Structure 1
Amino acid sequence: MIRILLAEDDRVMREYLARALERSGYAVTAVDRGTAALPLIESERFDLLLSDIVMPEMDGIELAQRAAEIAPDMRVMFITGFAAVTLKAGKQVPQARVLSKPFHLRDLVLEVARMFETENVGLS
């Protein structure tokens, strides 16, 4: 099962996203800030870091950069409602995908599935 670490400071959004991903068959661990995500990345294995970019204490870009040092094989997807921040993310974490708010949950689930589709070929 694909394991996702979700870092989102908005409680309602965090619960909403976690529930949708879990219903789609993913194992989700959700935290409310980047500083809470780092110890989990150090102690557990995750396939995907799904992070809001704008968060208190540590933004999603810094979190992704630190996560890349700890778990270089973990994939990264950002979610954000700020266009300028999207451009910054693409420059600083070029391998990451960026999903702009607002989005439908099905778009999120499809994007996550696309990130892992090469591994799932022939597994059906």
Structure 2
Amino acid sequence: MSLPPESALATILLVEDDEAIRRAVALALERYGFRVAVAADGLRALELFRQDRHDLLVLDVMLPELDGIGLCRRIRESSVVPILMMSARGDALDVVSGLEAGADDYVVKPVDIPVLVARIRSLLRRAAFVATEDHAPHDRLVFGDLAIDLGGLEVFLGGQPVALAPTELRLLLEFAAHPGIVLDRQTLLGNVWDYGWDGDSRVVDLCVQRLRKKIGADRIETVRGFGYKLRR
């Protein structure tokens, strides 16, 4: 099996209370070239997360001690590490709650391993983009009191730094590259999430909501029936 660069040495923290699923998914991910740490409950996962460095987290929603939604919120208090949620098939509330809590993406259970790996690779590419995107040191985009330092990939609102997760930053950069232009959800899914989607655009809507909370509710305008645009 040929392993893409984003798989090499990437460490995933897999949090799943079902032992059979945990073992099967961990083994499959290792076969794809990932290093995998595992936890069976949310509190143990939080402990492992604070002890070691992980490149990405895969969290089941239903966990003992501390559920996946609560764990996601706790992690987002201090980290922008990519987070992928696993939700029971058809449970829209789990999906929405996970994305609102700060997750970057989700898969449904029972887990389709190739889909899971594709989602993981996509999230790692986004994180790598944030870490390595090359711009001149003084490249800067300014929209009122919102400033984007392209050289350092930093965002400032009223002169104060704004912490954005990799997906949120890529979404903002996509808007900033087309100021005043309406971008529909499928375009954003393709350019920001960089893979084909199964028809559910809530991931875009909820990421826009999170971004609005951080940079200002009126900065990104909803164009009803079409999509979103960044105000100049």
1:88 alignment counterpart: 97
Higher helix proportion (structure 1 or 2): 1
Task: Point out 4+ residue stretches in structure 1 off by more than 2 angstroms.
Answer: 117-121
Q: What is the distance in 2 between the residues matched to 1:74 and 1:6?
A: 13
**Alpha-carbon shift at residue 114 of structure 1 (Å):** 1.0
What is the percentage of aligned positions where both structures have the same residue? 30
Q: What is the distance in 1 between the residues matched to 2:76 and 2:101?
A: 12
C-alpha RMSD of the superposition? 1.7
Indicate the structure whose relative CO is greater, using CA pairs within 8 Å and at least 6 residues apart: 1
CA contact under 8 A between 1:47 and 1:73: conserved in structure 2?
no
2:187 alignment counterpart: none
| Structure 1: 5+ residue stretches without partners | none
Amino acid at match of 2:33: G
Task: State TM-score, norm by structure 1.
Answer: 0.87
Q: What is the distance in 2 between the residues matched to 1:45 and 1:33?
A: 18
Q: What is the distance in 1 between the residues matched to 2:24 and 2:18?
A: 10
| Structure 2: 5+ residue stretches without partners | 1-8, 133-232
Q: How does 1:45-64 map to 2 (within 5 A)?
A: 45-64=53-72
1:41 alignment counterpart: 49
Equivalent position SS for 2:77? helix
Q: Deviations over 1:17-75 (max 9, x none)?
A: 101111111110011011111111111110111000111111111111112234x1311
Task: State TM-score, norm by structure 2.
Answer: 0.48
Q: Deviations over 1:84-103 (max 9, x none)?
A: 2112212222x421111133
Q: How does 1:1-124 map to 2 (within 5 A)?
A: 1-70=9-78, 72-81=79-88, 82-93=91-102, 95-118=103-126, 119=128
